[in-house]
Structure 1
Amino acid sequence: MKNVSMVVACVLASAVGAGASTYGVLSFLPWNEDSEISQSHATEVERLRHVEQELEQAHHDLETLRQEVAESRARNDISETVRQRQAEEHAQRQREVATLQAAEAARQRLGHAIAGNSAVVGNAQQGQEVAYAFINRVRREVEEAWVMPADAPNHQVAEVAVRLGPSGELFGASITRSSGDQATDRSALLAVEAAAPFSELQELPVGLQRDYRQFNLRFSPGDVR
């Protein structure tokens, strides 16, 4: 019952004590149902507000966590990009170093080749000079040994083929071109035989000795070539 206020007056008569009477009054406070419901509602509202705050805080924490994750991923992406760039730069440096090393190796090979060719050319030139010196010496010795006949005709030329052994000894001499005068031809052969052996052959480089073991000498009045 809503808003019910009851006041009950009870008159109690006690038989104890003649003519005595005692009156007692019992008062009952009113019972309000709406007040109890409102209090329960307020408690529920407070609880819901607290839950809502907790949800908001959880949402805020979740959003913060999402931002942190996004920032971490961004940092990871940046780190990965940096690592990739560093790896590419390192690979590029390695390629450049390899290119430089290859160029240096090629330059050294070229230098060695040039030096080798220079040495070969120098040796060849030196060998030729020694060979020319050998031939000139042979001509000079043969010319000194040549006794040309007094009645030898002028402007006649005799050519003699000379063959030498490994030590410069004379293996043979023969007329390959006659002067037209037997005495002159014979004197040319005797001159070669008298000047031999030509031991200077052994002073030539080994590769040239075989080449100069055979040569021709041309005899003309006053000159041997």
Structure 2
Amino acid sequence: MKKGTEALDWPNLTAIQPVAGLIPEALRLVTKRQDAGTRERIFRIGDSVRNVYLVISGEARLIRLDRRGKEVILQRSRGGFIAEASLDSRNYHCDAIAAEPTTLLLCPAAAFRQALERVPAFSKAWQSQLAGVVRKLRAQCERLSLHSAADRITHYIEAEGTDGVVTLRQTRMAWAAELGLTHEALYRTLRLMREEGFLEIDGNRICAKA
């Protein structure tokens, strides 16, 4: 992976990924940029936790391998922090890879913990960030418990969209995996829901019709 040594343009980074604006000044001074190519490892299971990672662009995935060697995706991120729980651990409990060319910020874990202790506003913002992650995971668990593909699609639109409209920031194949569906089942269900008048689809914009 390629690490940038130039000074970071924080106004631009925050414009691209607003959560970067949470990082306090003292922590910004020691934060570095890192560019990862497709399928490149960001960290490996068992590595010491030395950094907290923030995805600025691209997609990072947290993965493990099952007993057959098949890749199991634990988390996808197209923006925001990843492996947040590792901040309180000695080692990472999974691998992280870039699913496509990805830009990240690396915040040294020790400095990150220190900022949480010394900057109350940052600590409060971090708690809100973690609460949002929990809400998203809860919604995802609820969605995966639904039996039909149509119900999962509808739940995703209502949970992740606004006023019944969601704009996808990932490929259909990646979305299918997040919904726990094959891409064939997703395409087929989307087509049927559109034909039956339940959805309007315009590129990556999907609208649930009343």
| Range into which the TM-score falls when normalised by the shorter chain | under 0.3
TM-score (norm 2): 0.20
TM-score (norm 1): 0.20
* Structure number with higher helix proportion: 1
Looking at CA atoms only, which structure, 1 or 2, has the larger radius of gyration?
Answer: 1
* Structure number with higher strand proportion: 2
Higher relative contact order (CA 8 A, sep 6+): 2
